[in-house]
Amino acid sequence: MSIMEKRSLVSPKYRALSVSDQCKLIGLQRSSYYFKPRGQSLLNQRLMKAIDRQFLDCPFYGVERMRDYLIGLGHHVGVKRVRRLYRLMNLRTIYPKRNLSKANPADYKYPYLLKGLKIERPNQVWQADISYIPMFRGFMYMFAIIDVYSRRIVGWSISNTMSMEWCRETVLDTIRTEGQPEIFNTDQGSQFTSPGFINPLIERGIQISMDGKGRALDNVFIERFWRSLKQEYVYLNPPNGGMDLYRGVKAYVEFYNRRHKHTGTGYVPDELFFETNAKAS
């Protein structure tokens, strides 16, 4: 049962069980039911929006450099505050390749399997990531999964927390509806390195691939999706509430999959995903 199907079963009018108890009964995270944006002070919200726009263009900006950028905008903030906002926004600085020419194996919880790999079919490799989504008031997080071959967004969900359980249930729901990948690639965020997230994938025979810390191109396809989503939807039409965000993201993902032609493939994602699968069968 998908997250949205579970949400439809919860009723605040059902007096025998509270919403919280109903969510527990059907295995639904409360944050996935409420779609309630996370709140921050007005100053932090302004800072986060400024950071998000700049980081999208300059993902190599570390905390100190971003602090200097914000000061240049007239925000007198310190490194500690910017570092806390980076963590809250799930931002990880990437570095020029010359600094990482010799990757340290100790940096990897699981190896990076995509280097030199020829990706030539749907469901061969999925990449996944979490991104901060600014709203008119507050913010939420979005978790998205992209099929690398076709660039199709095969699964996504929104939440006001970055819990491992939320990510795991989104992945398992996607596997139930879209099939499963041969390789699942993420960064080394704590949600993705948790046994609770990893073990269900390994049990299904899925290989785990993880980016090197700060390597610029390891998760490039999902990063390009975030850029498109934010520049073409979120920044132009800041969502006014959780359900507004959900409806807007749903409409944008449908547009992205059905009408957004990629220069790298020359195809719309749905065309490449479904036509290739049809030929294979």
Token pair of 201 as six digits = 């994938």
The answer to whether 168 and 280 have CB atoms below 8 angstroms apart is: no
pLDDT at 274 > cutoff 70? yes
What's the confidence (pLDDT) of residue 100? 38
Given a cut of 70, whether residue 280 has pLDDT beyond it is no
Q: Judge whether 68 lies within some domain.
A: yes
Q: Per mean pLDDT, which range of 26-35, 73-82, 119-128, 137-146 is the poorest?
A: 26-35
Task: Give, for 134, the enclosing helix (H) or strand (E).
Answer: strand 125-134
Beta bridge partners of 159: 141
Asked whether residue 101 is assigned to any structural domain, the reply reads: no
Rounded to whole angstroms, the Cα distance separating 185 from 116 reads 14
Rg (Cα) of the chain, in Å, rounded?
A: 19
Given a cut of 90, whether residue 141 has pLDDT beyond it is yes
Q: What's residue 98's pLDDT?
A: 46
The confidence score (pLDDT) of residue 6 equals: 67
Quick check: pTM over 0.85? no
Q: Residue 116, class by beta-carbon neighbours within 10 Å (0-12 exposed, 13-18 middle, 19+ buried)? A: exposed
Do 54 and 7 share a structural domain?
no
Domain match, 12 and 53 both: no
Share of the chain above pLDDT 90, in %: 56
Over range 133-141, report the average pLDDT: 90
Task: Provide the token pair at 194.
Answer: 């948790």
Q: What mean pLDDT do residues 138-158 have?
A: 95
At residue 183, the pLDDT reads 98
pLDDT (average), residues 30-51: 79
- State whether 89 and 114 are in the same domain: no
Ranges of H-type helices in the chain: 3-9, 19-26, 30-34, 42-57, 63-72, 79-88, 164-178, 190-193, 195-203, 220-229, 242-259, 269-280
Six token digits for residue 189: 């965020």
Average pLDDT for 236-248? 87
Query: 99 by DSSP, 3-state: which?
Result: helix
For residue 98, is it within any domain? no
Please indicate, yes or no, whether residues 179 and 261 belong to a single structural domain of this protein.
yes
Q: Check whether residue 189 and residue 80 sit in a common domain.
A: no
Give residue 109's pLDDT: 76
pLDDT in tens, 65-107: 999 999 999 999 999 999 999 999 999 887 655 443 344 444 4
Determine the pLDDT at residue 103: 43
**Same-domain pairing of 137 and 276:** yes
The pLDDT of 220-237, averaged and rounded, is 93
Give residue 77's pLDDT: 95
* Same domain, yes or no: 20 and 59: no
Residue burial 203-212, b: 16+ Cβ < 10 Å; e: rest: eeebebbbbb
* Domains contained in the chain, number: 3
Domain annotation covers residue 99:
no
pLDDT of residue 106: 42
User: Do 184 and 77 reside in the same domain of the chain?
Assistant: no
**HSE-up of 249 (CA within 13 Å, CB side)?**
27
Tokens standing for residue 135? 């709203």
Backbone phi, psi, residue 69, to 5°: -65, -45
Mean pLDDT of 208-231: 82
- The CATH number covering residue 153 comes to 3.30.420.10
What is the SS3 assignment for 95?
strand
Which range of residues forms the domain containing residue 78? 42-93
Q: To the nearest whole number, what is the mean pLDDT of the chain?
A: 85
151 and 195 in a single domain? The answer is: yes
Q: What is the pLDDT of residues 251-264, one digit of tens each?
A: 999 999 998 877 76
Residue 202 structure tokens: 């390994």
Q: Is there a single domain that holds both residue 133 and residue 115?
A: yes
pLDDT band at 32 (very low <50, low <70, confident <90, very high): low
Residue 75 domain-assigned (yes or no): yes
